[in-house]
Structure 1
C-alpha cells in the first residue's frame, strides 16, 4: 500500500527588519554617536599626555640661568664744540633797482630776462634824438661864449695899457675888466651845460650798475619812461656771495655769556667764527660762511638779536628769501661728557635717569642732569663720572639691583650682546608617541 507523505516545510531566511521613521531612530541619534566617538578620541589623547608626563617625571630639572648679558659703554670726556641752531633768511649781497634817469620812449630792450649781466652792460635804449639836439645847442652856446670871452679879454688888455698913460678913465678900465670876467663865467656855464647834455645823452642807454642776475622787465619797447620814476624797469641781484641774516634769543645770549664768565665753555674767537648752513630740506650746504655782524640792539617785539654771515654761493644754490638754519659755534666744552640718547629714561615728572653697572656688576639707577642734545647724544651736566659703565642695550632683561654680565658695545658699528649671542639651535623632530604642542608661540609665524 502506498502512503502519501507530506513534505516538510522549507524554512526561508528571516528578512531584516525594516527601519521605520520612529523617534528611536531619528537623525539626532546619529549626531550623538559622532559626539561619542570624538569624546573617545579626546580621552585617548589625554591618556597619552598623562603617560608622557609620567614618563618624564624622572627627567632632570632645568638648570638656573646666569646673569643677563647687557651692553655697556665706558664714559670718557672729550673736547666738544657747541653749536647753536638759529633760523635765518638769505639776502642778496647787492641789489640794484634799475630806473631811467632821462625821459623818453624805450626803443630796445638789450638783455635776456633771468640771465647773468655784467657791470656796465647795456640794458635799454631810449630815443636819444631830443638829447642829441640838446647837446648840439649846448655846443653852440659854448662856442658863442668863448668868442665873446676872447673879445672882452682883448679889450681889457688894451684898456690896461691905456690907463697907464691916462688915455682912458679909471672907470672905463674897471668896466672892461668886469666884462672880461663875466665873459669867462659865461664860458664856464656853457661848458657845464654841454657836459650835462652829454651825460643825459649817455643816460639814454641804460646800463647795469652792478653784475648779477637780472629779473623780469616791467616795460616793453614803445613805453614812455620818465626820469627818476617810482617803478623800477628791472632789478639786478648779486648772489655770490650771499648774506644770511639769522636771529638769536637775547635770553640764550645772556646765558651763554654767563657760561663764558663761569668758565664752563671756552669762547670762540668772533673774528674767525665759521657758520655752517643747513637748507630747508635738512641737507647741509657744502660751503661755510663767516660771521660778519652781530647786532647790539634787541628787538622789542621778538626779543631777539640779529646776526649776519657772508656765505659763498658759487653754484647759485642759495637764492634771496630762502629759509635756512645757521649752525653757529657758541663755545668749546673741553671736558664734555656725552651719552647716547637711547640710554636715558624719564619718569612721569620728566626727570632723567640712566642705568649704570658698578664694580660688582650690579645695576644701579642714577639720576642725571642734561644740558643739551648734540645729534643723537646728550651733554651731561651732572650725575655721571668718566670711567663709569653705562647701560645702552638689554634694558628689558634687567632692573636696578640685578647682577649682570656687561659686554662692551661699539655704537659706531652697532654690535652688542644681542648680535654676538649665538642663534638658538633648531629643535629636533618629535619622537614617535610624543605629543606635539601646536600652540602658536610669540614671534612664530602663523
Structure 2
C-alpha cells in the first residue's frame, strides 16, 4: 500500500514539475500505476472515458461556457464597469468597490476566475492609475474580485466537483449564492477599513458628479445581463428547470442580448464556438484523467485505507473539515486549482461519505479554499496574470514587482478565511436556500 501511494505521489510530482498539462500528468500517473500494480487495464481505460463523457449532465459544460462567451463579446464588460463606477464613485474606496461589484457580476457571466481578473483588470487598471489610486490595494482588490469567478454560478469548478462527487450541479449553484454575496461584502469591508486608516490610497472624486439620468441609462445597458443571470438561477431554484435546461435558457438569452446590442457576426460566433470547444475539451480531458486515476486508487484500496485510518482517529465532522481546510491551504500554495481538486477528491470523497458530511456544503468550502489558493504565494494564478497585465499596460515603464500583489492581496486572504470559518460554523448560510428550493436542480 505504501509503495502504491509513494509511486503515485512521485509520478504526479514529476508530471507537474515538468510542466505537463494537468490531464496528461493525471492520465500518465494512472496508466503507469495501473499497469505496475494492477496489470493489463486497457479495457478499463476505454470504458471509463466513454462512461465519463456519455453522461447527459455534461451538456451544461459547453452551454454555460458558450453563454459566457456570447455575453462577453456583447460588450457587457465596459458597460458593467462604467455603470458601477458612476454609482459607487462617492463611496469611501470608490473604484475599489467598483472592482468588486463588476467582478461579482462578471463572474456570474464567465464562470472563470482568471477570465474575471484579466477582463475587469484590463478595464479598471487604466482608470485606477489615472486617478492615482494606491497600486497595491488596487491590484489586491482585482485579484480578490477575480476569485469570485469560481464561486458564483456558473462556476466551471463547481460543475467538475458536482460530476466527480455525483451531486446536483443545480444545488451546488444555489448553495454558492449566499457565500458568494457574503464574500463580496467581506471584500467591501476590507476596502472600507483600509481607506478609513489610509484615505490617500483611494482619492475621492468629490468634484465629479453624474446626473441620475446618466446613472439610470447605465443600468438599462446592463439590465438584460443581470436579468439573464437571475433567470438562470431563478429557474433552478424554483424547480422550473434543471441545470441542463437552465444552461439552454442562458445560451438563448445571451444570444438575444448580443443580437439586441448588434454584436452578432459570423466572426463573433466563430470565436465563441472555437473558445467554447477548446475550453470544453480541456475540462473534459481533465475529468477523464481524474476518473482514470480515481479508478486506479479505488482498485488498489487506497481511499478505503485512508478512510479506516481517519475514522480510527475519532475525529468529529467539524474537526475533519478543519483538517482538510489546513491541507488545502498548504496544497494551494504550490498546486494549480483544478489539479489540486481533481487529484485529492478521489481520496477524500469516500472519507466524507463515511463521516456523513454533506457534499454540497463541502463543495462550497472546497471552492472557497481554491479561491484562497488563487491569491496566495508562491503559486497564485490571479497574482501572476494581473502582474502580467500590469506590465503589458504600463509597457517599458513598469517597475513594480509581484510583491506588490502579495501585499495588496493579503487583507483579502484574511477576509476569505473569515468567510470560510463562518460557512463552516454556520452551514445554514450555504444550505438554507438549497433546503427551500424546489425540484432536484
TM-score scaled to structure 1, two decimals? 0.17
Q: Which one has a larger percent strand, Structure 1 or Structure 2?
A: 1
TM-score scaled to structure 2, two decimals? 0.17
Higher relative contact order (CA 8 A, sep 6+): 2
Q: Which one has a larger percent helix, Structure 1 or Structure 2?
A: 2
